[in-house]
Structure 1
Amino acid sequence: MKRISIVFGTRPEAIKMAPVIQQLRKVEEFEVSVCFTGQHKEMVLPLIDFFDLKIDSMLDVMQPNQSLATLTSTLVRELDSYVASFKPDIVLVQGDTTTAFCAALVSFYRKIKVGHIEAGLRTHTIDSPFPEEFNRQVIGKVTAFHFVPTNVAKRNLLDEGVPSESIYLTGNTVIDALQFAVKKIDTNSDSYKVEFDWLKADTKMVLITGHRRENFGVGFENICKAISTLAQNNPDCLFVYPVHLNPNVQEPVNRILNGLQNIKLIPPADYISFTQLMEKSFFILTDSGGVQEEAPSLNKPILVMRESTERMEVVDAGAAVLVGTDPVRIVNYAQKLINDDKFYKSMANVANPYGNGKAAEEIASILLKNL
């Protein structure tokens, strides 16, 4: 029996790892251990119940106002102890978080194979996004199984000299999770119903998310100015913004947007609530990687408020536009989506380049054949 360790720490990791955990636990040949590091403790715990995940090891690595260096050192120490205890044949990590980076580093030190889910994403600018681009490049250096979501990601790895036999095109597990969530919400509507009594059925609702470090400061100021302009120019539209708790986000958002009649600032939404908000939205303004992957499956156009993205597939497919933090560009493209029905439909009716919801099954099959 092969031992598989799955490590995650943040909400996006939990969402994207959930289908993998569900699939691997079905395989009799695998002994699966799930380690949650606690990076996003409050945001992840509801997902553990929603996806019916069993956590075998729960760490508590977060401290108030700790630096990335302090977080990294704590994660390395705690994960090394966990790995030494479980003795896995492979450690699976997801994406580009500090948890994923540290789990891969510890595995490398102990000569344990690493499987990287959502491998091959690149901006090729080491500090954008920060520190995620650095994390994923380093993870790629020590990975034995690269599970890539798209052919673009595969090409990135091949260009870096990664052997083709270690790269597996699977699609992105976020689509598996989204399909699971939508089905569960729809079939248990009473249990998972979220009331948005302020959201009228005939109102065009623009959903907004923003949290990226590289946008802190002037970037967020510009984003907020653009949203303010859009709200004033489109009084019949409702702009809904679940505001991240980071003070670098809270301060400019509340200072610039609070008090505008058709802007609804709400607390950060849990996965269930946010999935329903995405379904109800007209289009989405975001700097989130996960939203870029999910929205096309719900036929929602995306305006990406970043200067670069490692998810160019959705832009190339026509479902998203990279608008950066330039307020003029944000306003112009948003206004075009609101006013131009033909343009809107051209972005809304695009096949999702990140897969069909079978990524976790594919990953389980690959591991069963190759471990």
Structure 2
Amino acid sequence: MSRPRILTVFGTRPEAIKLFPLVHALEADDRFESRVCVSAQHRDMLDQVLAIAAISLHHDLDLMTDRQTLDSLTARALMGIGAVLDEERPDWVVVQGDTTTVMAGALAAYYRKIPVCHVEAGLRSGDIHQPWPEEVNRRMVGTFARLHCAPTRAAAEALLRENTNPATVHVTGNTVIDALEWVTKRIEEHPSLAQGLAGLEARFAGKRIIGMTAHRRENFGEGMQNIANGVKRIASRDDVAVICPVHRNPNVRAVMSAELEGLENVALIEPLDYPHFARLLGLSHLMLSDSGGVQEEAPALGKPVLVLRETTERPEGVKAGTAKLVGTNADTIVRETFRLLDDEAAYAEMARAHNPFGDGKSAQRICDLLAESER
């Protein structure tokens, strides 16, 4: 009897981070034949993760173009992934999260009646425009996936409220914790993997470092301007320094450069590879971010997260106390940051809160679920 062929499809850096532990597990499991397809809707940042995780590709669609639009990307991803499915004829397609690649890959599989395993299923913000377009991408895949791997009980309950078949919904934890544990161990074994921040560590010695990332589409324009203004005010303190890997999207880069370039206590740097980003998390006293992944990763290292969004599809972190929604109002960002800097009890309450997102064993649970589904 032939082994089931599993085609894992992804296209961005966050997807690659959360899926490489599963790809490793599938490749090491004699029960499966593992194949990998990337859309490369984000090229350079994706390649960084592929390199550090030593992921071999079977199909690279290389779809990224300058200033690509959602409709053109969706059309090219749907056609390109569809052609790969016709060639590979997999028994399962695995996708993760909520990107355009996820939506197009899952839809192409559905058109061919190939079952879809949705990793990180069930996250809901309750607002179809935040995060945009990710909220709708994720909901759409949730309507027809055959296997829903929910990272938390709350995510599983969201699926059940939508009348998803309970037999297809499983709480697996989030594979991002598997990835963070893996890369942290690699850095311990090979410190050179993350030595690129040594200069900034020396420059900001004696200061509390605040890590900051911002890239969400719904924050483009006024929201991004407000975030930059808030960071500028925070960085006026002598006891802090802000390290900001600047997303390559010009809607982000232009604003951050205009407001923060040249400030003594701010370092605007190029996007970090995964080991260096894990190192930044470790160095930081707290994180300011509109990223979904950071809401999961930072608490695993005991770092509070102030979420630069009005809503989150990861309410578990807010409920557990590891994250707090602060939106994009500059006054609120400054006030909440200063509170964590100046109130030791408030900081300790967030830093010591239980991380609800996983135990580092999620990839193996998903492998076992795929095997059981083939019986």
Match of 2:221 among 217, 225, 243: 217
Q: Percent identity?
A: 42
| Partners of 2:130 and 2:8 in 1: CA distance | 27
Query: How much has 1:191 moved relative to structure 2?
Result: 4.6
2:309 is aligned with 1:310? no
Query: How much has 1:235 moved relative to structure 2?
Result: 1.5
CA contact (8 A) 2:173 2:361 kept: yes
| Partners of 1:66 and 1:104 in 2: CA distance | 21
Match of 2:325 among 311, 322, 325: 322
2:345 is aligned to: 342
| Partners of 2:155 and 2:91 in 1: CA distance | 25
1:272 is aligned to: 275
CA contact (8 A) 1:231 1:238 kept: yes
2:8 is aligned to: 6
Number of residue pairs aligned between Structure 1 and Structure 2: 370
2:29 is aligned to: 27
Match of 2:59 among 57, 76, 97: 57
2:122 is aligned with 1:120? yes
2:185 is aligned to: 183
Query: How much has 1:192 moved relative to structure 2?
Result: 4.2
2:243 is aligned to: 240
Match of 2:208 among 204, 207, 211: 204
Show CA shifts across 1:77-104 (max 9, x none). Answer: 1111100100011100000000000010
CA contact (8 A) 2:197 2:276 kept: no
CA contact (8 A) 2:194 2:279 kept: no
| Partners of 2:361 and 2:51 in 1: CA distance | 22
CA contact (8 A) 2:296 2:357 kept: yes
2:173 is aligned to: 171
| Partners of 1:256 and 1:159 in 2: CA distance | 44
2:81 is aligned with 1:79? yes
Query: How much has 1:172 moved relative to structure 2?
Result: 0.2
Query: How much has 1:198 moved relative to structure 2?
Result: 2.8
Show CA shifts across 1:8-59 (max 9, x none). Answer: 0000000000000011111212111100111111112222221121111111
Query: How much has 1:65 moved relative to structure 2?
Result: 2.3
CA contact (8 A) 1:185 1:193 kept: no
| Partners of 1:235 and 1:295 in 2: CA distance | 24
**Compared CA separation, residues 318 and 199, structure 1 to 2 (3 A):** same
Query: How much has 1:259 moved relative to structure 2?
Result: 2.4
Paired residue secondary structure (1:48): helix
Paired residue secondary structure (1:259): coil
Match of 1:159 among 137, 158, 161: 161
The two structures, once aligned, show a CA RMSD in angstroms of: 1.1
2:360 is aligned with 1:357? yes
Paired residue secondary structure (1:193): helix
| Partners of 1:102 and 1:38 in 2: CA distance | 13
Query: How much has 1:195 moved relative to structure 2?
Result: 3.8
Q: List alignment gaps of at least 5 residues for structure 1.
A: none
2:84 is aligned with 1:99? no
2:369 is aligned to: 366
Q: List alignment gaps of at least 5 residues for structure 2.
A: none
Show CA shifts across 1:196-243 (max 9, x none). Answer: 2232443200000000000001101111111111112x1221111111
